[in-house]
């Protein structure tokens, strides 16, 4: 912020920081967001640059180089910094490529369920009446189904793969979106600018997309981060039970499942992908919590 040389304050200083600047300050001042965001940023970068930074092909199996320990163990070498897995694939490379899978699943599953849930929630909140009744009923039904068991049953029948997992999770995880969006829409729809738009004669679609949606976006983002984490966790669990992503895909959950037999004597095989998963989920949760804190009541309007 510059000060005019004659000592008088600038217009900027009189008015105070713009909403954009205020938001930025809040964002970067919040430790959770900074930490979470940086970690997530690193992981995304890792996923995007995977072909460049991974030392080996993650699918290259060298059966004579099985279960080599990471470099900090007595027999570890710098050739395989994080060691190799049970068929001789370099663990560091698999870890790096695995980030792609986790991010893909988290993003698309959260997006799909977000689409479904948001549409239902906003519709219920805006139109009320019978629409609300139906949506609430559907939400209650969905909540009564044990998600893991249903996913297992469905995948067992139609076969597991990346696409199937995303589809199944996307079609099951919309409940929180619907609940939160409904509540948020209820709060927003009674505000002046919505009434104004209605009076002017805007189409319902216009109102929903241009007036309501932007104002519930904050809460949508919070839920999205939570469901992202939820989807990643569930995929890991499904892969652990053998009904998720298929080998030889380097999904972190599948790596834990494959390394499960070696946990007693070669624990790094499941410790490393476990830490990776944990880090990703931690980052996403911190971001979500931060988003919730930052977009607390004072930021409405």
Residues 6+ apart with CB under 8 A from 216: 122, 181, 184, 185, 188
As measured in angstroms, the least distance from the Cβ of 124 to another protein is: 14
Contact positions vs another protein (CB under 8 A): 59, 61, 63-64, 66-67, 86-87, 137, 140-141, 143-150, 152-154, 156-161, 229, 233, 236-237, 240-242, 246-248, 253, 256, 258, 260-267, 270-271, 274, 277-278, 281-282, 285-286, 289
Residue 155, Cβ density class (10 Å: 0-12 exposed, 13-18 middle, ≥19 buried):
buried
Specify the residue, 114 or 274, whose C-beta has the smaller distance to another protein. Answer: 274
As measured in angstroms, the least distance from the Cβ of 270 to another protein is: 6
As measured in angstroms, the least distance from the Cβ of 257 to another protein is: 9
Specify the residue, 103 or 208, whose C-beta has the smaller distance to another protein. Answer: 103
Specify the residue, 211 or 266, whose C-beta has the smaller distance to another protein. Answer: 266
Residue 235's closest CA among 227, 245, 226? 245
CA distance 144 to 139: 9
As measured in angstroms, the least distance from the Cβ of 203 to another protein is: 31
Residues 245, 160 contacting (CB under 8 angstroms): yes
Specify the residue, 107 or 240, whose C-beta has the smaller distance to another protein. Answer: 240
Residue 38's closest CA among 231, 279, 228? 279
As measured in angstroms, the least distance from the Cβ of 232 to another protein is: 9
Specify the residue, 220 or 249, whose C-beta has the smaller distance to another protein. Answer: 249
CA atoms within 13 A on the CB side of 77: 7
Specify the residue, 53 or 156, whose C-beta has the smaller distance to another protein. Answer: 156
Specify the residue, 73 or 278, whose C-beta has the smaller distance to another protein. Answer: 278
As measured in angstroms, the least distance from the Cβ of 233 to another protein is: 6
As measured in angstroms, the least distance from the Cβ of 149 to another protein is: 5
As measured in angstroms, the least distance from the Cβ of 210 to another protein is: 30
Specify the residue, 153 or 196, whose C-beta has the smaller distance to another protein. Answer: 153
């Amino acid at each position: 912020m510059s000060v005019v040389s004659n000592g008088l304050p600038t217009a900027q200083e009189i008015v105070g920081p713009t909403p954009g600047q205020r938001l930025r300050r809040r964002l970067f001042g919040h430790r959770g967001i900074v930490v979470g965001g940086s970690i997530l940023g690193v992981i995304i970068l890792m996923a995007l640059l995977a072909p460049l930074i991974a030392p080996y092909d993650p699918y290259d199996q060298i059966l004579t180089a099985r279960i080599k320990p990471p470099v900090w163990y007595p027999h570890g070498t710098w050739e395989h910094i994080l060691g190799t897995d049970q068929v001789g694939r370099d663990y560091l490379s698999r870890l790096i490529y695995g980030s792609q899978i986790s991010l893909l699943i988290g993003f698309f599953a959260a997006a799909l369920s977000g689409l479904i849930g948001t549409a239902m929630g906003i519709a219920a909140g805006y139109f009320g009446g019978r629409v609300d009744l139906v949506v609430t009923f559907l939400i209650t039904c969905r909540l009564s189904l044990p998600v893991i068991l249903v996913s297992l049953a469905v995948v067992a029948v139609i076969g597991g793969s990346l696409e199937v997992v995303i589809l199944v999770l996307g079609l099951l995880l919309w409940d929180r979106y619907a609940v939160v969006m409904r509540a948020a829409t209820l709060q927003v729809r009674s505000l002046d600018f919505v009434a104004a738009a209605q009076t002017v004669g805007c189409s319902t679609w216009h109102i929903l997309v241009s007036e309501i949606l932007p104002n519930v976006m904050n809460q949508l983002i919070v839920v999205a981060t939570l469901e992202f984490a939820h989807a990643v966790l569930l995929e890991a669990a499904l892969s652990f039970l053998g009904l998720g992503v298929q080998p030889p895909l380097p999904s972190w959950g599948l790596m834990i499942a494959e390394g499960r037999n070696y946990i007693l004597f070669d624990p790094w095989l499941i410790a490393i992908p476990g830490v990776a998963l944990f880090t990703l989920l931690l980052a996403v949760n911190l971001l979500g919590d931060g988003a919730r804190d930052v977009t607390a009541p004072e930021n409405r309007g």
